[in-house]
Amino acid sequence: MKKRDELDPQRLIRHRAMDLLARREHSAHELQAKLVEKFPEHAPLVEPVLAGLTRDNLQSDQRFAESYVCALIHRGQGPYRIRQALQQRGVDTSLAEQTIAVCDEDWFELAVQVMHKKYGRQPCTDFTERAKRSRFLQYRGFSAEQIRACFTDNEKYDD
């Protein structure tokens, strides 16, 4: 980095933001938090730098949401957990909903895959095992309807 960049805090902040964005997509909220933490003495300059990055299409909450949703689906997370994670990272609720809706994922099939990966293909034969598996899927962010669909109608319970 050149000497004059070290004197211009706005350039320094922009350079750091671009370094972060080069590694992975960040939401504006995440990026702002990281930059304010790194440059607390220049916190008022962070907002205009972020606006410039957004204007130059170097930072996009849309792109972040799309890549983050794909990553969480790949890790076996359900729609409720994904929605919550996006909101925690400062993504607008409507953008989160829209991104989840257009991802074209079969949530029922994903819930079954996640359950089979964790518990194998053995059907559960008692109520406690079914409750355990249901809690696991609920923690992963699947709806009650998606969880119910994971259990076949022919399972019988000893309890």
List the CATH number of the domain containing 146: 1.10.10
In a domain? residue 159? no
Q: What is the structure's pLDDT at 67?
A: 95
Mark whether 22 and 44 lie in a shared domain. Answer: yes
Across 16-100, the runs of DSSP E, i.e. the strands, are none
Burial 41-50 (b: 16+ CB within 10 A, else e): eeeebbeebb
Q: What is the structure's pLDDT at 157?
A: 43
In a domain? residue 155? no
Domain count, the chain: 3
Mark whether 10 and 23 lie in a shared domain. Answer: yes
Can you tell me whether residue 71 is helix, strand or coil? helix
- Look at residue 110 and tell me whether its pLDDT is greater than 90: yes
Least confident of 81-90, 127-136, 150-159: 150-159
50 and 17 in contact (C-beta within 8 Å)? yes
In a domain? residue 122? yes
Supply the pTM of this predicted model. Answer: 0.84
Long-range contacts of 96-99 (CB under 8 A, 24+ apart): 96/65, 99/62, 99/65, 99/66, 99/69
- Summarize pLDDT for 32-47 with one digit per residue, the tens: 999 999 999 999 999 9
In a domain? residue 158? no
Mark whether 84 and 55 lie in a shared domain. Answer: no
Mark whether 112 and 97 lie in a shared domain. Answer: no
In a domain? residue 41? yes
Q: How far is CA 69 from CA 93, 109, 116, in A?
A: 14, 16, 21
Share of the chain above pLDDT 90, in %: 84
Mark whether 40 and 76 lie in a shared domain. Answer: no
Across 71-136, the runs of DSSP E, i.e. the strands, are none
Taking the C-alpha atoms of residue 64 and residue 121, their distance in angstroms, rounded to an integer, is: 35
- Summarize pLDDT for 82-108 with one digit per residue, the tens: 999 999 999 999 999 999 999 889 999
In a domain? residue 156? no
In a domain? residue 79? yes
The boundaries of the domain holding residue 36 are 3-59
The alpha carbon of 123 is separated from its chain's Cα centroid by a whole number of angstroms, namely 31
Mark whether 52 and 66 lie in a shared domain. Answer: no
